[in-house]
Structure 1
Amino acid sequence: MTDLLKKYLFQDHSVRVQAVKLDEAWRTGLAHQSYPPCVQRLLGELTAAAVLLAANIKFDGSLVLQLQGDGPVALIVVECTSDLTIRATASLREGLSVPRDGNFQSLLNSQGQGRFIVVLDPQRKNAAMQPYQGIVPLEGDSVAQVLEHYMRNSEQLDTRLWLAADAGQTAGLLLQRMPDQGGTEAPGPAHDTWERAVALASTIESGELLGLDTDTLIHRLFWEETLIAFEPQNVSWHCPCTRERVANMLRMLGQEEVEDILSQRDQIDVSCNFCGKPYRFDPIDCARLFTSPQDTPPSGAGSIH
C-alpha cells in the first residue's frame, strides 16, 4: 500500500513532520479527467497539501482547498475528509489557451485577482464546530508558497511545504513548528530544532519526493535526528457520484425532456461535474427511469453532453 500519510515528531516535540505519497488514489482520480501537464501538476500538489493539512484537524468533516484563478485556470478545488478520502478537480476558462510553460501566477493570477480559499465543513452532527471560510490573495510562486503564507498569517503557525506531482503520483512533505503549552512558539533549543529541520528538508528535490518511498525519504533527510513515528494512515480517492444519482438527475429533467434528447441521439452520456466519470444511458435505461418505483429522492451530480 503506497497511498499513505506518515507522521513524525522530533524528540523535543517542537517540530511536526508529515509525508504523503499517493499512487493508486491519484491515478484513480485522473482516470476520467484530462488536463494539460502544468494544470495536472498544480492539482496534484494541492491534493497532497490537502491531505497533509487535513490530518492535523481534529474534527469530523471535510477540508476544502480552492485556488480561484483569473487566468486560463478558473478553479482548482480539492476536498479531503477527516478519514483521508480525497477528490479533486480543475476547471479551465473557456476561450483561453493554457500555455505549455505556464507557471503558478500566469495560470491562476495573471490579472492579480486570484484567491486562495480554505473551507472547513464539519458534519451536521458535529455541533461543537462551526463552518469556517478563509480567503487570501494568491501570494507566492507555487502552491506551497501560497499555503505557507496562509498558515503563517491566518493560523499563526510556521509551516513549510515541499510538493510534487506528475501523471502517476503526487507527494508532499510538511514541517510545522509546534507552539509550546502556553500557545507561543517554543523558544531556545526548540528554535534551533526548527531551523535545523527546515535546512535539512530544503535539500529535497521534486524528483526525490516522487521517486523515493516515504521511509527512505525521511531517513535520507533526518538520519541524524531522533524522530517519534506514528501509525501510518491510509489515503483513498472517493467521489460520491453514482449511477443512481445520475439517474435521479435525469428523472428531475422529466420524461418528456429525456425523450426529446433521445430523439436527437442514440443515448444520453453524462459526466460527473467533479471527477469526470462517464455514465451512459441507452433508450432502454431511460425507459426504466420512469417505470421503476423510486425510494431515493432526486439528486443530480452531472452534466449531459
Structure 2
Amino acid sequence: MKQQDCLRRFLFEDLNIRGEWVRLEHSWQQAKQHQVLVNSAVESQLGQTLAAVVLLSATIKFKGSMIMQIQGSASLKALVAHASHDGRVRCLVRSDATVSGQDLPQMLGDGARLVLTVDSENGESYQGIVGVAEANLAGVLQTYFSQSEQLETSLWLFANATHAAGLFLQAMPSETQDKTDWEHIEMLANTLTEQELLSLDCEDLLHRLFHQEKVRLYDPKAIAFKCGCSRQKISGTLAALGRSELEQVLHERGTIEVDCQFCGQHYLFDKIDVENLLTNPVVNENDTPTRH
C-alpha cells in the first residue's frame, strides 16, 4: 500500500545529518477544495507551502501550531499553510483572477516576504521573517535557515493536482562534522526528480538516493486536513471589532455572516448573538504575544 498523508523522519546514523519526508494526497485534495486556484502554477505553490509547513513543524518539539504566510503585492497576494503538532493541516490562497509567471518573486511582486509563526499552547509565539528573492519556496526556506539557525539545510518541494510532497535535509550541530559529508549527501539528494518525490514511498526514495548510507527510519506520523475554526473563535474575533462597528453592520444588514477562509464553514450571528458575545466575551486563543 502506498504511503500517503504521512511524514517520516530519518537519521543518517554515521553522519550528523537528519531528514524528513512527507507526501500528502487526500489531505492536500481536501485542503485545496475550498480555495480558488486560478491556474496550475498557483496550485503548485499552495501545495508546496502546505508540504513545507508540515516538514518544518516536525523539526521542533512543541504543542501548538505553525503558520507559514507568504505575502505578495502583485497578482498573487497570499499563500498560507497551517500545521498543528498532532498532524492537522489546512491552507488558503488569495490571488487575482489571473496570475502570470512560474517563479515566486514574479508572482508575488516587490517586497514579498515569508513569515513563519509558531504558536505554542502555553500562550507564547515565535516569529521569523525572510524576504522572497529565490525562484522557489525551497530556496526561500534555505535562506531562512541559513540566516536564523546557521545550519546547512536543503529542501525539495513539489506539488500537482493530486499530491504535495517534500524532502528536508539538515546538518545537526557538531564540532566534528566534516563538511564533505554534507556535500556528499546533498549531491546525492540533488539527483531527485519531481516524479520520484511525488510517487515513491519513503523507503524506496531513500534507497534510491542513499543506498550506500546507513539510514534509520522512524515510524510514520499521520497527516490529515482538519480546520480549527469554531463559533467560539469567530465570536472572539468579532468581539475585538467593538460594539459600534458590529452594531453598524447589524443596522445595515440585519445579521453578521462570516465564512471561514480555510474550510468554507458559514457562521451567522443575529442581534441576540452579537449582544451575547459583547456582554460575555470569549478569549481567542490566537491573541497571544509574539516574540521576534
Task: Answer whether TM exceeds 0.5 for this pair.
Answer: yes
SS in 2 for 1:168: coil
| Contact 1:48–1:171, Cα closer than 8 Å, also in 2 | yes
SS in 2 for 1:172: strand
- Are 1:53 and 2:56 counterparts? yes
> 1:208 is matched with which residue?
196
SS in 2 for 1:102: coil
In the TM superposition, what whole-angstrom CA distance separates every residue of 1:214-239 from its partner, at most 9, and x where no partner exists?
22212211122110111211112221
Shift, 1:61, TM fit:
1.9
> 1:14 is matched with which residue?
16
Shift, 1:276, TM fit:
4.2
| Contact 1:243–1:279, Cα closer than 8 Å, also in 2 | no
Shift, 1:24, TM fit:
1.1
> 1:107 is matched with which residue?
107
Pair 168,242 (structure 1): closer, same or farther in 2 beyond 3 Å: farther
State the TM-score, normalizing by the size of structure 1. Answer: 0.78
- What is the distance in 1 between the residues matched to 2:181 and 2:226? 38
Shift, 1:213, TM fit:
2.1
Which amino acid in 1 is paired with 2:115?
A: I
Shift, 1:277, TM fit:
1.5
Q: Relative to structure 2, which stretch is displaced further, 241-250 or 48-57? A: 241-250
- What is the distance in 1 between the residues matched to 2:176 and 2:159? 32
Pair 272,299 (structure 1): closer, same or farther in 2 beyond 3 Å: farther
SS in 1 for 2:74: coil
- What is the distance in 2 between the residues matched to 1:176 and 1:247? 41
Q: Relative to structure 2, which stretch is displaced further, 166-175 or 10-19? A: 10-19
Structural mapping, 1:274-285, within 5 Å: 275-279=262-266
| Contact 1:269–1:278, Cα closer than 8 Å, also in 2 | no
Paired residues in the alignment total 277
The unaligned stretches of length 5 or more in structure 2 are 285-292
State the TM-score, normalizing by the size of structure 2. Answer: 0.81
The unaligned stretches of length 5 or more in structure 1 are 301-305
SS in 1 for 2:229: coil
Structural mapping, 1:258-273, within 5 Å: 261=253, 270-273=258-261
Shift, 1:271, TM fit:
2.6
> 1:166 is matched with which residue?
160
Larger Rg belongs to: 1
Identical-pair percentage: 32
Shift, 1:280, TM fit:
7.8
Pair 249,134 (structure 1): closer, same or farther in 2 beyond 3 Å: closer
| Contact 1:250–1:258, Cα closer than 8 Å, also in 2 | no
Shift, 1:178, TM fit:
1.1
SS in 1 for 2:219: coil
- What is the distance in 2 between the residues matched to 1:38 and 1:11? 38
Shift, 1:288, TM fit:
10
In the TM superposition, what whole-angstrom CA distance separates every residue of 1:215-271 from its partner, at most 9, and x where no partner exists?
2212211122110111211112221224676699899998996697479xxxx9753
> 2:69 is matched with which residue?
66
SS in 1 for 2:59: coil
- What is the distance in 2 between the residues matched to 1:244 and 1:132? 24
Pair 66,249 (structure 1): closer, same or farther in 2 beyond 3 Å: closer
- What is the distance in 2 between the residues matched to 1:42 and 1:103? 9
In the TM superposition, what whole-angstrom CA distance separates every residue of 1:109-144 from its partner, at most 9, and x where no partner exists?
x32x1112121222236xxxx422222211211000
| Contact 1:38–1:102, Cα closer than 8 Å, also in 2 | yes
Shift, 1:185, TM fit:
6.7
Shift, 1:159, TM fit:
0.5
- What is the distance in 2 between the residues matched to 1:92 and 1:10? 41
Structural mapping, 1:1-305, within 5 Å: 2-36=4-38, 37-93=40-96, 97-99=98-100, 101-108=101-108, 110-111=109-110, 113-124=111-122, 130-180=124-174, 184=175, 186-187=177-178, 191-242=179-230, 261=253, 270-273=258-261, 275-279=262-266
RMSD: 3.2
| Contact 1:55–1:84, Cα closer than 8 Å, also in 2 | no
Q: Relative to structure 2, which stretch is displaced further, 58-67 or 200-209? A: 58-67
SS in 1 for 2:134: coil
Pair 258,209 (structure 1): closer, same or farther in 2 beyond 3 Å: same
Which amino acid in 1 is paired with 2:119?
A: D
| Contact 1:63–1:120, Cα closer than 8 Å, also in 2 | yes
- What is the distance in 2 between the residues matched to 1:207 and 1:141? 20
